[in-house]
Amino acid sequence: MAPLARQIDFMAGGDVLAKYGTLLWRKAPPTAGGEIPYTFTRSGSGLFVANDVVAGGLQYFTAPANTPRVDQQPDPVTGQLQNYLVVELLGTNSYLRSEEFDNASWNTKSNMTVTANSALAPDGTTTADTFVESTDGAPTLHYIKQTLPALTDNTNQCASIHVRPGSRSWLLMEAQAKNAVFYDASFNLSGAGSVGTVSSGARGIIVAKFSLTDGTIYYRCCIVFPSNSGATTPNVAHYPATGDGGAAATYQGNGSNSLYMWGAQFDKDQNFPSSYIKTVASTATRNAETFTVPWYAGPTGGEWLYARFLERGAGLTPAAYPELVRIGTASTRPQFRFVGTYANPIAWQYSADYQLTAGDASEAAATAGAGAFGNVIELLAWVNLAKSLLTFRWAINGGAESVGTAAPAAGTPANWSGLQLALGGNAAYSRVLHGYGGGTALSTIADVRNLL
């Protein structure tokens, strides 16, 4: 899907940065706002993934406070690296010593030894740890785990870790819930990486693949599982395995086979992993981000809006629709936006919403499919006020388009002056994004356009 051949009034995002050297491009005379800079806020630093242009290979870099993060991630269709502006709400890593598996915070190590700081890690430092299995007289389990914090009953939980294959190329992640039920997910650490057998009620995700400067490859593996309720102290264990499935984690070790691990994260009460957050002696938080642009008096007959983004999931079942892109504010009209609609624990559907007045809530939805973690989503909407028609199209990974329509209120919109375009919501609207229990909204924006 591509925007229609109309005059582009505004563009923003990672794709715009790659083409024009700026995250924001607008075509407007000075009387209509001109080239007004965007405003980006985030208290504290944040990590992003990019290609090391000198040595080659993907790695983590640090963006200082109030500096946008632009991830480079492979397109799921073409495999080519694409630029994505990352806009997240607050995220917390509840693990302690996320890169120090030899530390006592990792309070259970069974039939394996940990050699600290022995391999190149995804942040370009030699801080990855080597896990070597014991020499065994009979088949047994080899694992490491950390006790989890108190979890909310009957909510999804998310644990992730960066793993590099050694002489073992399978990882089993096993979570024990509060009712003592176990949930497993197997990960094949070769090629593009793949998720193997997963227990019913859980799911496995390969969040990212890192090809480092020394030619080695890390996979960020993630298990999502329900906390349930009960008196058991929950935990997530990490096992090297000989193949797919839980039984493959029980084998006779030879004292030399290994895996490399780095960067563990636990996103408490969340459906999906946030971007990686390093911890040491205590939990750590990456603060919320906003990206806004001063708006101006736009056309009165209608508007086009296009967005292309990488779906990174959202938090718990929302009580309100999380916003992806919005022209307008929470308290004034007109308002034009794309919103996500919770479809099931792993997928989202999308709709376009236009409100000429506070009482007009016209929404066009196209629900032929649902976007899942890692999908490239394209959304295109047009509001024609002369015909009282809102048309919405969307596609997944360049596939067939779905189409929906709605009938907004007819009439001439009020002056757009003073409104803002916000990616991922702004401070005034964060309660909508947080309205489902503090969940994170993690869609990363590649390209947003407003067309006349």
Domains of the chain: 8-90+289-451 (2.60.120.200), 92-283 (2.60.120)
Backbone angles phi, psi at 193, to 5 degrees: 80, 145
At residue 99, the pLDDT reads: 98
At residue 431, the pLDDT reads: 25
Total Cβ atoms within 10 A of residue 57: 19
At residue 126, the pLDDT reads: 97
CA atoms of 298 and 306, how far apart (whole Å)? 16
**Secondary structure (3-state) at 15:** helix
At residue 422, the pLDDT reads: 60
CA atoms of 195 and 201, how far apart (whole Å)? 15
Q: Check if the beta carbon of residue 16 is closer than 8 Å to that of residue 26.
A: no
Q: Which residue's structure tokens are 């395995």?
A: 241
Considering only CA atoms, which of 137, 127, 131 is closest in space to residue 113? Answer: 131
For the chain, how many residues are written? 452
At residue 3, the pLDDT reads: 52
At residue 55, the pLDDT reads: 65
Class of residue 73 by CB neighbours under 10 A (exposed 0-12, middle 13-18, buried 19+): buried
CA atoms of 248 and 425, how far apart (whole Å)? 44
Instruction: State the pTM of this model.
Output: 0.88
Q: Which residue's structure tokens are 């996103």?
A: 267
CA atoms of 309 and 324, how far apart (whole Å)? 9
Structure token pair of residue 25: 């491009």
At residue 318, the pLDDT reads: 46
What are the per-10-residue average pLDDT scores of the chain (452 residues)? 60 83 71 64 94 80 94 82 84 96 96 97 96 97 95 94 98 97 98 95 92 93 96 97 97 97 95 92 92 65 80 56 72 76 67 78 75 84 82 89 86 60 44 23 57 50
Helices vs. strands in the chain: H and E counts, helices first: 2, 35
Q: Check if the beta carbon of residue 225 is closer than 8 Å to that of residue 183.
A: yes
Considering only CA atoms, which of 265, 285, 278 is closest in space to residue 95? Answer: 265
Sign of CA pseudo-dihedral 50, 275, 441, 342: positive
Q: Check if the beta carbon of residue 449 is closer than 8 Å to that of residue 3.
A: yes
